[in-house]
Amino acid sequence: MKIEQIYTGCIAHAAYYLESNGEAAIFDPLREVQPYIDRAFKDNAKIKYVFLTHFHADFVSGHLDLANKTNAKIVYGPTAKPAYEVITATDNQIFEVGKYKVKIIHTPGHTMESTTFLLIDENGKEHGIITGDTLFIGDVGRPDLAQHVVADLTQDKLARHLYQSLRNKIMPLSDDLIVYPNHGAGSACGKMMSKETTDTLGNQKKTNYALNPKMTEDEFVIAVLTGLTNPPGYFPANVLMNINGYESLDAVLKKANTPLNPEEFELIANETRALILDTRLASEFANGFIPNSINIGLDGNFAMWVGEMITDIKQEILLVTETGKEEESMVRLSRIGYDNTIGYLKDGFKSWKEAGKEIDKLTRITATELEEKLKNEEIPVFDVRKKSEYLSEHLLGAVNIPLNEINNHLAEFPKEKPFILHCAGGYRSMLAASILKMRGWDNFVDIIGGFTEIKETNLPKTDYVCPTTLL
């Protein structure tokens, strides 16, 4: 059986490509679909079906673009009612792709239409299951997202649906099946996902807390709901885009791919009040940036932090990127529904600086320099990591203000005296620093390498406690 993971930028939502006798099926495609089309052309295969496990919240699926370009049929599981033509499959329905089969297993819980796809090879042997957000490696999908779109679908109701789906639909399946989930560690769609991308179902039955056969339904509900935080604010908007349809990526890029010289860039920024988003490395941003821009680097959890920190999904955006990273920035914004990029700074920040335009900078020091500084003076330290990271281990006396809550706690940052800012490695603290700088703070320094480097110093820290959740 020919099943390959096609990665297009991240582990999460790796699409699975199944090909047989000149026919192919795509599962949960990312926003940019050309790699799938190119692969099918290379294999002399026709894309027959586009299978969606559910209406995704964390990204805009590429199913509509892919179907429009290939005439493939879009397939959702039972109860799905999108605003465009699809095949709404029934539970246990079989779809044939050449000699292979894809069996529909309705597994509501993460959402009501959530579906697992059982892959069956040319000999009739069950090969694996594409579980979407129903079952992860080491975890299960959070059952609280659909309530942000449909109010009466409470997290308790969904958690009980998920329990029944796991017990009655997933656990009876063969131990040797390979589990292909939609996410790996770092996703906001679960709490304790493994960094591993596949496993056998048998091993998950032994090691995944949610598949403990002795766990009652009530115990499961408590376990799966404990430790959840509010999902990123853009999730409901993405769900609705995936249900109702969206502008094609080609159209989005045509609008966004507009190079602007410094004068044009400055004029449009002033006229439109567009957000200036700088996607360069934190170290490059600190050394010089356009005033009032914010830094969310492509090298980190870009999509998640864009969704967390840019609250209006329709916000107009002007980009400053590393040379050659312009289109990648546009595409990665569009993956999560931010389709209003209106241009980018041609030749990057270098052109702005060479034009003699006003620039800003941020001060950074090493953890060793911080250690020396704190020996001689008492300076407030602000830790912008997640609460779970802070509770696990932190610098004594540090105040925890998680990055995604910073705009609600600006009054806690002193204006009249200096302070220190850090996260785990420098990515999030630079985003926080750019926000504070935009709001008028300039009396702070950022720690290069964050808490990872602070741990190597002799500065007093709390005892390490193993975190019970990754949220």
DSSP states along 13-36: T-EEEEEETTEEEEES--S--HHH
How far is Cα 290 from Cα 312, in angstroms, rounded to an integer?
22
Helical ranges in 417-458 per DSSP H: 427-438, 450-454
The pLDDT score that the predictor gives to residue 17 is 85
Widest CA span in the chain: 74
**CA 373, chain centre distance (Å):** 37
Residue 278, CA distances (Å) to 32, 327, 329, 383, 405 in order: 22, 13, 10, 23, 21
The pLDDT score that the predictor gives to residue 148 is 58
CA neighbor of 63 nearest in space, from 249, 338, 240? 249
Helix, strand or coil for residue 91?
coil
Helix, strand or coil for residue 376?
helix
CA neighbor of 110 nearest in space, from 139, 141, 67, 69? 141
H or E segment to which residue 47 belongs: strand 46-51
pTM of the model: 0.90
Q: Are strands 126-132 and 115-120 parallel, antiparallel or unpaired?
A: antiparallel
The pLDDT profile of the chain, 471 residues, written as one tens digit per residue, is: 677 766 444 455 667 788 888 999 999 998 899 999 999 999 999 999 999 999 999 899 999 999 999 999 999 999 999 999 999 999 999 999 999 999 999 999 999 999 999 999 999 999 999 999 999 999 999 898 776 567 678 999 999 999 999 999 999 999 999 999 987 666 666 666 667 888 999 999 999 999 999 999 999 999 999 888 778 888 889 999 999 999 999 999 999 999 999 999 999 999 999 999 999 999 999 999 999 999 999 999 999 899 999 999 999 999 999 999 999 999 999 999 999 999 999 999 999 999 999 999 999 999 999 999 999 899 999 999 999 899 999 999 999 999 999 999 999 999 999 999 999 999 999 999 999 999 999 999 999 999 999 999 999 999 999 876 656
CA neighbor of 281 nearest in space, from 325, 341, 311, 340? 325
CA neighbor of 276 nearest in space, from 255, 253, 254, 260? 260
The pLDDT score that the predictor gives to residue 8 is 40
The pLDDT score that the predictor gives to residue 16 is 79
